[in-house]
Each structure stands twice: as C-alpha cells, then as structure tokens.
Copies of this chain bind each other. A is one copy, B any other.
Amino acid sequence: MNYRSRQKRGQAPTFFYAPADQIDETSLTLSGQEAKHATTVCRLAKGSQMTVTDGAGNAYDCEITGVKRGVVHADIVRAHRRLGEPFATVTLAVGVGKPATVDWIVEKGVELGVSSIVPIRCANSVSGLSDSAAAKRRLSRWRRLALGAMKQSLRSVRPDVHEIMSIDDARTLIDDHQMSFIADPDGQPLSIAAHSHVQMTKSLLFVGPEAGFTNDECARLIDAGAVPFSLGARRLRAETAAIVSLTLLLKELDEL
C-alpha cells in the first residue's frame, strides 16, 4: 500500500541519489540512470521539485533548473540531515541462501531501517559462493537493491552491504555490538530475551539461510553472546523469519 503514501502525496514518489561529488553548496546534478528515472519514469522537468540524497545521511529538497544531455541540474532549496533514518543502529547478518530469498531480505531489511548487511557463508549456504565472480555479481546486485530500497523507503543513508564473510568472522562482530540476537525455537519471546537491555543503540541480528544454521553454528553464535529468541509456534520460511525477527527487534528498539 506504500505505507505513508497518503502523508507523502504530492511529493515525488521516491528519493533520487547523487554521489557527494555531484553536490555542492547550492546545487547538484543527477546523471545516468538517476537522471533517466527522474525525467522518463517520474516525468520531472524544469521547475519540478524533488528530493535527492547522497546516501551518507544528507538529503536535499531541490528544484530542477534544467536538463541537458541527460544530466539533470537542480538548485538546492533546503538541506536535511539523516532524514528518514532510525535512531537505532541494526546490523543484519544473513546466511546466504537462494538468490531470490537473499535479494528479498536485503530489500526488506533496508526498507525497515537496517544500517548494514553482512552476508554470511555458512554450512547450509548455497554452493558457488567460492567462485569469486559469482559472489561479486551477487554482492553488486545486493548493493544495487540496497540503493533502490533506500530511495523507495525515503531514507537518506545507503546501508553498507559487506563482502560475504565466513560465519567465524561474523561471530567476531558480536563483540562490536551492544546486543546480538538469533532466532531459536528454544528461545524466549524477544521482549523477554531483550528485557534487561534498555540501551541497545547498536545491535546485531543473525538470520539463517533456507536450511537454517546448523546446531553447531547456532551454539557457537550463542556461546559468543548472541541471545536466542523464539518466533512463535509456527514454522516460518527463511524470508518470513528474517523480516519477522527484524520487525520484533525494531519494535523493541521503539522504531515501530
């Protein structure tokens, strides 16, 4: 339903993206696909209003002054800092399964407000991740999807998508976060599991691939400090478990 569509009616249906080197104090340009999207799909032209973000927390309300040779030129009317961004910093560490599933989790994770995404190679990951060409293709696809979801959800920070790492490397991330969580049928509801941790400005959430983390992987993550929490009595598919976990965590962090 494009939640917020009514509130945002009259605004451009998306944010546009320009890298910092195309932005100065009073004006900016859109080029390439962004310019094409603005002029062809959204039919913006001289005099149109739009909001552009640099993906680093800056967003600019602009007025288009002209379109020349496929480049959109605009004057900055107003600057915002961290528009659409959550207060909480959430890292989503996701076991790499089938392409469609991970793509979808990346997109929804960014929409919901994660700060960064860490793809993990684990025992039940799909094969082919050691072929670095295939892994690179998937990584650049996730980064494109993260950019698109940032614009679509009206965020101003483009979440990092890290290179695929081993579960042992991902495990060391637990020490860098105030709280880490992992869905586990034996865990308690998240609101109870996280109860004593009022200050969780920086948290880490592990979600497994389709076939799950192995018992051993789960035990090692929990041993390193990840708190197990339950997702209710029904069995959820990987992508459902990912989004439900993230929703519950963001609710606990007062972002929902």
Residues of A within 8 A of B (CB): 1-8, 84, 86, 95, 97, 108, 111-113, 152-155, 183-186, 189-191, 207-213, 215, 218, 231-238, 240-244, 247-248, 250-251, 254-256
Is the CB–CB distance between A3 and B183 below 8 Å? yes
CB distance from A204 to the nearest CB of B (A): 16
Nearest chain B CB to A244 CB, angstrom units: 5
Closest 9 CB pairs of A and B: A1-B208, A7-B185, A3-B241, A1-B212, A4-B235, A247-B247, A5-B212, A153-B234, A3-B236
Given A244-B256, A247-B244, A248-B256, does the pair A235, B3 have CB atoms closer than 8 Å?
A: yes
Residues of B within 8 A of A238 (CB): 1-3
B183 A234 Cβ-Cβ under 8 A = no
A232 to B254, CA, bound (A): 9
Closest Cβ neighbor of A1 among chain B residues: B208
B152–A183 touching, CB < 8 Å? no
Q: Give the distance to chain B from A190, nearest Cβ to Cβ, in Å.
A: 8
Question: Contacts A153-B234, A256-B231: A251 and B250 contacting too (C-beta < 8 A)?
Answer: no
9 pairs across A/B with beta carbons < 8 Å? A1-B208, A6-B184, A6-B212, A111-B240, A154-B234, A233-B255, A243-B244, A247-B248, A248-B256
Q: How far apart are A95's CB and chain B's nearest CB, in angstroms?
A: 7
| Bound Cα distance from A72 to B60, whole angstroms | 65
**Which residue from chain B places its CB closest to the CB of A101 in the assembled complex?**
B1
Return chain B residues, CB-CB under 8 Å to A190.
Answer: 256
Contact of A236 among B153, B183, B244 (CB under 8 A): B153
* Contact in complex: B244, A112 (CB < 8 Å): yes
Q: How far is the CA of A229 from the CA of B244 in the complex (A)?
A: 18
**Residues of chain B lying within 8 A (CB to CB) of residue A184:** 6
A-B contacts besides A111-B236, A153-B235, 13 pairs, CB < 8 Å:
A1-B210, A1-B212, A1-B238, A2-B212, A3-B185, A3-B231, A3-B235, A3-B236, A3-B240, A86-B233, A112-B234, A247-B247, A248-B256
Cβ of A229 to closest chain B Cβ, rounded Å? 10
